[in-house]
Structure 1
Amino acid sequence: MDTQGIDWQNLGFSYIKTDLRYVSHWKDGAWDGGTLTEDNKVHISEGSTALHYGQQCFEGLKAYRGQDGSINLFRPDQNAARMRRSCARLLMPALPTETFIEACRQVVLANERFIPPYGSGGALYLRPYIIGVGDNIGVRSAPEFMFSVFCIPVGSYFKGGLTPANFIISGYDRAAPNGTGAAKVGGNYAASLLPNHEAKERDFADCIYLDPATHTKIEEVGAANFFAISRDGTRFITPKSPSILESITKYSLLEIARDRLGLEVEEGDVFIDQLNQYSEAGACGTAAVITPIGGIQNGETFHVFHSETEVGPVTRALYDELVGIQYSTRPAPEGWVVKVQ
Structure 2
Amino acid sequence: MATSRRLGGVDPFRRSSLPLPQTPSPRARARASFTNQEASQPTPRSPTRRSPPRLQTELRTSAARGFSSPASGRGTVPSPRFLSGLVWSRSTQCTASSLGGPVARRRSRFSTLMMTAYTTGTPDLVDFNWDALGFQLVPTDFMYLMRCSSDGVFTKGELVPYGPIERNPAAAVLNYGQGLLEGLRAHRKEDGSILLFRPHENALRMRTGADRLCMPAPSVEQFLEAVKLTVLANKRWVPPTGKGSLYIRPQLIGSGAILGVAPAPQYTFIVFVCPVGHYFKDGLSLISLLTEEEYHRAAPGGTGDIKTIGNFASVVSAQRRAKEKGHSDVLYLDPIHNKFVEEVSSCNIFMVKDNVISTPLLTGTILPGITRKSVMGIAQNLGFQVEECNITIDELLGADEVFCTRTAVVLSPVGSITYRQRKVEYGKSQEAGVVSQQLYAAFTAIQKGLVEDSMGWTLKLN
What's the TM-score bracket when you normalise by the shorter of the two chains?
over 0.9
Partner letter of residue 426 of structure 2?
A: F
Give the match for residue 102 of structure 1.
Answer: 225
Question: By how many angstroms is 1:28 displaced?
Answer: 4.8
Give the match for residue 346 of structure 2.
Answer: 223
Does residue 264 of structure 1 match 2:369? no
- Looking at structure 1, the residues matched to 291 and 128 of structure 2 have their Cα atoms a distance apart, in angstroms, of 36
Give the match for residue 278 of structure 1.
Answer: 399
Indicate which of 319, 322, 327 corresponds to 2:440.
Answer: 319
Q: Is the 8 A contact 2:147 2:155 kept in 1?
A: yes
Indicate which of 201, 207, 214 corresponds to 1:78.
Answer: 201
Instruction: Give % identity.
Output: 39
Does residue 125 of structure 1 match 2:247? yes
CA RMSD of aligned residues (A): 1.5
- Looking at structure 2, the residues matched to 26 and 168 of structure 1 have their Cα atoms a distance apart, in angstroms, of 42
SS at match of 2:368: coil
- Looking at structure 1, the residues matched to 279 and 343 of structure 2 have their Cα atoms a distance apart, in angstroms, of 16
After superposition, what is the alpha-carbon deviation per residue over 1:47-92, rounded to whole angstroms, capped at 9, x for unaligned?
1000000000000000011233220000000000111111111110
Give the match for residue 300 of structure 1.
Answer: 421
Residues 28, 183 of structure 1: CA spacing in aligned structure 2 closer, same or farther, 3 A cutoff?
closer
Question: By how many angstroms is 1:32 displaced?
Answer: 0.3
Indicate which of 148, 159, 162 corresponds to 2:284.
Answer: 162
Which structure is higher in strand share? Answer: 1
Question: By how many angstroms is 1:276 displaced?
Answer: 4.7
Residues 295, 138 of structure 1: CA spacing in aligned structure 2 closer, same or farther, 3 A cutoff?
same
Aligned 1:80-229 pairs, distance under 5 A: 80-120=203-243, 122-171=244-293, 172-229=295-352
- Looking at structure 2, the residues matched to 200 and 334 of structure 1 have their Cα atoms a distance apart, in angstroms, of 37
SS at match of 2:186: strand
SS at match of 1:273: helix
Give the match for residue 24 of structure 1.
Answer: 146
Which structure is higher in helix share? Answer: 2
Q: What TM-score do you get using the length of structure 2 for normalisation? A: 0.71
Question: By how many angstroms is 1:308 displaced?
Answer: 6.1
**Bigger shift: residues 270-279 or 237-246:** 270-279
Question: By how many angstroms is 1:160 displaced?
Answer: 0.3
- Looking at structure 2, the residues matched to 212 and 307 of structure 1 have their Cα atoms a distance apart, in angstroms, of 33
Instruction: Give 5+ residue unaligned stretches, structure 1.
Output: none
Question: By how many angstroms is 1:306 displaced?
Answer: 2.1
Q: Is the 8 A contact 2:252 2:268 kept in 1?
A: yes
Partner letter of residue 72 of structure 1?
A: L
Partner letter of residue 64 of structure 1?
A: H
Give the match for residue 167 of structure 2.
Answer: 44
Question: By how many angstroms is 1:194 displaced?
Answer: 0.0
Partner letter of residue 104 of structure 1?
A: V
Residues 21, 271 of structure 1: CA spacing in aligned structure 2 closer, same or farther, 3 A cutoff?
same
Q: Is the 8 A contact 1:66 1:326 kept in 2?
A: no
- Looking at structure 1, the residues matched to 190 and 401 of structure 2 have their Cα atoms a distance apart, in angstroms, of 30
Q: Is the 8 A contact 2:148 2:268 kept in 1?
A: yes
Residues 28, 269 of structure 1: CA spacing in aligned structure 2 closer, same or farther, 3 A cutoff?
closer
Partner letter of residue 265 of structure 1?
A: V
Question: By how many angstroms is 1:316 displaced?
Answer: 0.2
Number of corresponding residues: 337
SS at match of 2:400: strand
* Higher RCO, 1 vs 2 (CA within 8 Å, ≥6 residues apart): 1
Question: By how many angstroms is 1:307 displaced?
Answer: 4.5
Q: What TM-score do you get using the length of structure 1 for normalisation? A: 0.96
- Looking at structure 2, the residues matched to 276 and 47 of structure 1 have their Cα atoms a distance apart, in angstroms, of 47
Residues 99, 4 of structure 1: CA spacing in aligned structure 2 closer, same or farther, 3 A cutoff?
closer
Partner letter of residue 237 of structure 1?
A: S
- Looking at structure 2, the residues matched to 308 and 4 of structure 1 have their Cα atoms a distance apart, in angstroms, of 39
SS at match of 2:365: coil
Does residue 335 of structure 1 match 2:456? yes
SS at match of 1:278: coil
Residues 245, 159 of structure 1: CA spacing in aligned structure 2 closer, same or farther, 3 A cutoff?
same
Instruction: Give 5+ residue unaligned stretches, structure 2.
Output: 1-112, 114-122
